[in-house]
Amino acid sequence: MQKYQDFYQEYVPQIEQVMDQALLELNGPATLIEAMRYSVNAGGKRLRPIMTLVVYQGFGGIITDDVIRVACAIELIHTYSLIHDDLPAMDNDDLRRGKPTSHKKFGEAQAILAGDALLTLAFSWIADSNINAISKVALIAKLAQNAGPVGMVGGQVADMLGNELTYSHAELVSVHNLKTGALLSYAAAAGGILAQVSNELVQDLSEFGLKYGLAFQIEDDILDVNDSVDIEKNTYPHLLGLVGAKQELASVVDATQAKLAGIASKQAFDLELVAGLLSYFERKND
């Protein structure tokens, strides 16, 4: 895991620097840029761009500022989704990452617009980069697919409809795959697309990211139980009990690891570095 931890320590500051520099260079209304920078700079694990960069380097790719900015498109989309998810019409949250949410700080209209601007800017960061045209189009198509109606937005709709329904196990997997898995699936695939690996490997990476996202969401559900008195419905602990949810998490993490080993068996790949991403699940679930 040391290799991954060293990578993480090295690249999180670079990710944050590249994103802020690009936002500062934007020629837009000052209030809009301020709201965008407020949420992008509010912290967070930067897991999605890190995943793209780890996979890319895992295949031998050389990381430049241009590649970092392409990898950060997904972080802009993640940030927009959190701003919109916190709005009164959705989760109505006052705090995010320990700070007032965007609408609390800037008002609802500005928060909606900051989210809209981050969503569209993400595509500019890919389109305006110096990477080859084929990879660019593949990244833009996949990001649109995974963030949109058949990806994260579709998952958010299903999640909200779930307030009136109780989902089966299969339905819950499907909602989690869309809401959380789709962006992580893109993040992993993007590393392969940037490294110009085969379509078969890009597909394998998408499946790895999807499984990773499912594990991530089960873990999030488990951690929420510790923070609240009631177990929310349409979560793994509600469906399977806390012990069952932890067992399911362990089994999905094993499947995620196996998927990665399968990729390494097909092409030279720094498995030690990329498998470090799974250290996220080793901290709190014993």
Chain residues that interact with ligand GRG, rule: CB under 6 A: 44-45, 47, 81-82, 84-85, 97, 152-153, 156, 179-180, 217, 220
Of the pair 66, 224, the CB lying nearest ligand GRG is at 224
Of the pair 76, 195, the CB lying nearest ligand GRG is at 76
Which residues does 7 contact at the CB level (< 8 Å), separation at least 6?
50, 53, 54, 57, 273, 276
Say how far apart CA 156 and CA 162 lie, in whole Å: 10
Dihedral sign (CA 63, 266, 207, 47): negative
Of the pair 32, 42, the CB lying nearest ligand GRG is at 42
Q: What is the DSSP letter of 234?
A: S
CB of 118 to ligand GRG, least distance (A): 12
Q: What's the Cα-to-Cα distance from 111 to each of 26, 48, 86, 123, 283, rounded to whole Å?
A: 18, 22, 10, 19, 34
Of the pair 217, 234, the CB lying nearest ligand GRG is at 217
CB of 265 to ligand GRG, least distance (A): 29
CB of 77 to ligand GRG, least distance (A): 9
Residue nearest to ligand GRG as judged by C-beta position: 44
Of the pair 19, 197, the CB lying nearest ligand GRG is at 19
Q: Please give the helix or strand (H or E) that residue 40 lies within, else none.
A: helix 30-40
Say how far apart CA 165 and CA 228 lie, in whole Å: 21
Assigned token pair, 149: 């109606």
CB of 241 to ligand GRG, least distance (A): 20
- Determine contact, residues 179/217, Cβ cutoff 8 Å: yes
CB of 194 to ligand GRG, least distance (A): 21
CB of 91 to ligand GRG, least distance (A): 7
Tokens 């802020």 correspond to 20
Of the pair 97, 233, the CB lying nearest ligand GRG is at 97
